[in-house]
Amino acid sequence: MRLIDPMPTDRRPARVALLLAGLVVYGASVGMMLQAGLGQMPWGVLDQGLAGVLGIEVGTGSILVGAVVLLLWLPLHRRPGLGTLCNVVLVGLSINATLAVLPAPDSLGWRIPLLLAGVLVNGLATGAYIGAGLGAGPRDGLTTGIAARGHSVRVVRTTIEVLVLAVGWLLGGTVGVGTLLYALAIGPLVHRTMPAFELRRRLLPTGPLSAAPVAVPPAA
């Protein structure tokens, strides 16, 4: 019995490189939004609130939250991929590294551009690590795992994010205009970036036409 999903057999180096780059940049974008101080994505609010309560770094809080969410996959009979496991660790480490080197601006004139840049970079990074095709993030997998039991993906995702946001806010996480901006912008951004980065699996010929060249779908 496999503990994780097998990797696609084609373009593995490219997939791993895209995954790692996407996760590191994703964590950096979270750090940018945190340093802007104008509100964070729902899961980021939870990470920030938990970190404040436990007295740990925000990225470490992200790792703890990701590990707990991954455990919730077990009753849903979901199996993580390489990208899922890397997501739990690399995003958190990247958040910590970004917060260590990126100073928080004092003026609103710098905080607003930093927030906007963070949201945009997050959309690009999300498209990259999903496009690598090496497994959903733990939080996305929880949503799709629950939805697979006959529930609407939209309802499940909204319910989870509202609960996460509420708990994070009660723990002391920052909710603000950045939270609303992220909620409105991330969907359209990923809608464009995911097809742009997607590494589709090559179609292998079968049957009597096995001598024919491999058909590679055009890049989206």
Residue range 14-42, pLDDT digits in tens: 999 999 999 999 999 999 999 999 999 99
For residues 133-144, average pLDDT: 85
Residue entry with tokens 């940049």: 25
pLDDT digits (tens, 9 = 90+) for 72-84: 988 888 888 888 9
pLDDT digits (tens, 9 = 90+) for 148-189: 888 887 888 889 989 999 999 999 999 999 999 998 898 888
**Statement: residue 207 has pLDDT above 50:** no
Using CA of residue 46, residue 50, residue 56, residue 62, what is the dihedral sign? negative
For residues 57-65, average pLDDT: 96
8 Å CB contact between 196 and 131: yes
For residue 200, what pLDDT is reported?
66
Q: What is the rounded (10 degree) CA torsion for 122, 124, 130, 133?
A: -150
For residues 125-152, average pLDDT: 86
8 Å CB contact between 137 and 92: no
Tokens of 155: 């309802």
Tell me the C-alpha to C-alpha distance, in Å, between residue 215 and each of 131, 200, 201, 210, 218: 19, 11, 10, 11, 9
pTM of structure: 0.84
For residues 59-68, average pLDDT: 95
For residues 38-56, average pLDDT: 94
For residue 213, what pLDDT is reported?
45
8 Å CB contact between 61 and 96: no
What is the Cα–Cα distance from 11 to 4, expressed in whole angstroms? 19
Instruction: Provide the pLDDT confidence category of residue 202 given band limits of 50, 70 and 90.
Output: low
Position 38: which residue type?
L
